[in-house]
Structure 1
Amino acid sequence: MESPHPPPRVDPRIAEALIDSPSSFSFEELAALSSHRAARTAIVTGHAVRLLPNSYVGACHAQSFAARASATLRWLGDDALLSGAAALFAWDALGEAPDRIAVAVGSSRRPRAPDWIRVTRTDVGMPSVMRRRLRVVPLAHALVLGYAELPRDVAEDAMYRAVQQRRLSPQTLKGALEAMPRVARRREIERLVDALSAGAHSHLERVALMDVFRGRPFSDLLRQHTLVVEGRRCELDMYDAATRTAMETDGAAYHANPEAHQSDAERDVLVATLGIQTLRFTYRDIVERPDWCQAMAAAVLRVRATQQGLGRP
């Protein structure tokens, strides 16, 4: 009985390269590591996986974001840029890789892409930035374009964190939005950018700023006001300097965080040494009974104004 033929041996130079890098290779790049025959052997044996025409990746990386994004950009050419949620992940602005690779190309192109690629055709010339060997749109453009791809809370949180971490400014976001005439959910993004410009650091603060604590009683509120007391930096969501009244909005996660309770209790005591009274409104209060929050805050401001002889209406 004849022994079966042994499986073809993969050239170790190609095998190591496919393991070492999650980036994609063209056939010629694989062949350049050894020979055309060795490149074909790597493909036949499954060591190199073809994701797209002339885009091969190591089998161990084939399901990864890095490999799929690299293959997509190779396939679509130099004018293609990662966009939306894919660009946000490349910018470390999302915690989980998106299921689909969003990519922007020129409006004259009509590529037939597989389901795991989302192609957007655009006339808007967007700058190209290299991020981890991938061509991506700038962070501001990614936040604007990715907004409609993501659940609202995830998209909003990405914007808040980018501004809070000073990776960009609300003005930069506004400029990116103005540069793109056709953007899904534009009104929502505009309201969010307005809230960021006003100093909101979270969805809850946005609701408080834009919908609850507005109008005459609150027109003099300072947003995100910083105080230093006993050497500690204290950030106040909203502060009425005339009556020395601070107003804080506590998010849903706050109640499950004992450390946050302790830190904020200490802070409230510290600012009280300056004669500042702190009003705290919970997530449930702001969302379920905004009129009550508004009425209570206005009442406290009136009382404290009267006590201090300010004569505020």
Structure 2
Amino acid sequence: MGESEEQRLAREKAEDAARMLRAQLLMQAGVASHAQLAAGGVTKVDMERRLRRKELRRVHPRVYVDHAGPMTWPQRAWAAVLYAGPAYLCWTSIEEPRGRDDGAPIHVAIDHSRRIRPQDGIVIHRMKNMEQRAYGGVPPRLAVEDNALAMAHEAKREIDAIARLAEVASRRYVTAATLRAALDRYPSVRRRSLIAGLIDDLEAGTHSVLEHGYLAKVERAHGLPIGARQAPRPGPDGSQFRDVEYQAYKLVVELDGALGHESWRDQARDADRALDDLASAGMLTARLRFHQVFETPCQTATRIARILRRNGWDGTMRACGETCRMKEA
């Protein structure tokens, strides 16, 4: 006796659900939530049997993976997103690590109004306006611009906040406009004026944030002579403008605040070495980057002062505060 129309419809519905589950498992690297398994036709008895046979393994409460071996980074990421869902990869977990997975916890963002239990291997970040910040992705994740601002917000030091912007600005699809839109979505971000200035600099191709930082943190704070800003000098292609010029002491300071270089920290180390060489040799041009101005302003002031002294400056340096790390030149 053939199946009835009702039975046929029920069978086809079950087959469709099973196909959907297989597709989800394929997309989610073999990881599924309890709700997805149940929607795919896996009953409680089926689940218990698969767990006994090690065809499923519990990763987090109501989250499973379809094998008993070590988990890959994509599987750990999916497990975190499904456990905390609706959730989005964020922080250092916004992308799969290059090379070997070091087992670091997976960071996920959830709406600030939600509360979920902590789990080993997951770090939860609660944020506002999640629906505006999220990017689809597989697994779902924050937009890179929003993620950079979130990390900058939590940064303990100015240089770390700058680093977050520099790293994300290196991507071709990230522009001043997309960063400014993200900033508009984050009205409470810390160091807002600094970040807004960096975005303006990125758009205009200027280094005003770095220039102001040098004036306030290096030159003025340590009693160095006040240099001339944007001093014009004739060149082969017309007038050239020096960022800071100490004409009486034959020293020019050029400030390189370019964002968007993945190797900008390496460049900072190179600039430190070059500045030490200048301090020894008494050459006439020093090139500074964010690291020298925002991370080590006291040491930078000492190095600049050594060059100035070699060229005739007889002024007195001063400490910028109780924790100043300058050394008298």
Show the counterpart of 2:111. 105
Q: Percent identity?
A: 16
For the 8 Å contact 2:80–2:108, the answer to whether it is kept is: no
Number of equivalenced pairs: 243
For the 8 Å contact 1:53–1:75, the answer to whether it is kept is: yes
Q: Give the 5 Å matches for 1:79-90.
A: 80-87=87-94, 89=95
2:184 to 178, 202, 208: 178
- For residue 103 of structure 1, give the secondary structure of its aligned residue in structure 2: strand
2:270 to 254, 265, 268: 254
Q: 1:151 to 1:38 in 2, by over 3 A?
A: farther
Q: 1:171 to 1:123 in 2, by over 3 A?
A: closer
Q: Give the 5 Å matches for 1:156-175.
A: 156-175=162-181
1:191 is aligned to 2:207? no
Q: 1:199 to 1:96 in 2, by over 3 A?
A: farther
Amino acid at match of 1:253: R
1:137 is aligned to 2:153? no
For the 8 Å contact 2:152–2:164, the answer to whether it is kept is: no
| 1-structure distance, mates of 2:197, 2:66 | 45
For the 8 Å contact 1:22–1:67, the answer to whether it is kept is: yes
Give the deviation of 1:123 after TM superposition: 4.7
Q: 1:18 to 1:163 in 2, by over 3 A?
A: closer
Q: Give the 5 Å matches for 1:114-153.
A: 114-115=119-120, 116-123=122-129, 125-131=131-137, 133-148=138-153, 152=157
Amino acid at match of 1:191: L
| 2-structure distance, mates of 1:35, 1:206 | 61
Show the counterpart of 1:293. 304
For the 8 Å contact 1:31–1:39, the answer to whether it is kept is: no
Which ranges of structure 1 fall in alignment gaps of 5 or more residues?
1-13, 229-235, 261-276, 301-313
Q: 1:90 to 1:148 in 2, by over 3 A?
A: farther
Q: 1:69 to 1:221 in 2, by over 3 A?
A: farther
Q: 1:136 to 1:220 in 2, by over 3 A?
A: same
1:210 to 205, 209, 212: 212
Give the deviation of 1:68 after TM superposition: 3.0
For the 8 Å contact 1:141–1:176, the answer to whether it is kept is: yes
Amino acid at match of 1:220: Q
Give the deviation of 1:70 after TM superposition: 1.6
1:75 to 83, 93, 104: 83
Give the deviation of 1:288 after TM superposition: 0.7
Give the deviation of 1:104 after TM superposition: 1.9
Q: 1:104 to 1:134 in 2, by over 3 A?
A: same
- For residue 168 of structure 1, give the secondary structure of its aligned residue in structure 2: coil
| 1-structure distance, mates of 2:70, 2:230 | 56
Q: 1:67 to 1:90 in 2, by over 3 A?
A: same
Show the counterpart of 1:26. 33
Under a length normalisation based on structure 2, what TM-score does the superposition of the two structures give? 0.52
Amino acid at match of 2:111: V
Deviations 1:158-206 (A, max 9, x none): 42022133432344334323322334xx02x542442353359xxxx89
For the 8 Å contact 1:248–1:278, the answer to whether it is kept is: no
Under a length normalisation based on structure 1, what TM-score does the superposition of the two structures give? 0.54
For the 8 Å contact 1:23–1:57, the answer to whether it is kept is: yes
Deviations 1:12-34 (A, max 9, x none): xx9xx979963521357558989
For the 8 Å contact 1:70–1:134, the answer to whether it is kept is: yes
- For residue 22 of structure 1, give the secondary structure of its aligned residue in structure 2: coil
Deviations 1:217-264 (A, max 9, x none): 554379xxxx99xxxxxxx99768xx9x7826694532799xx9xxxx
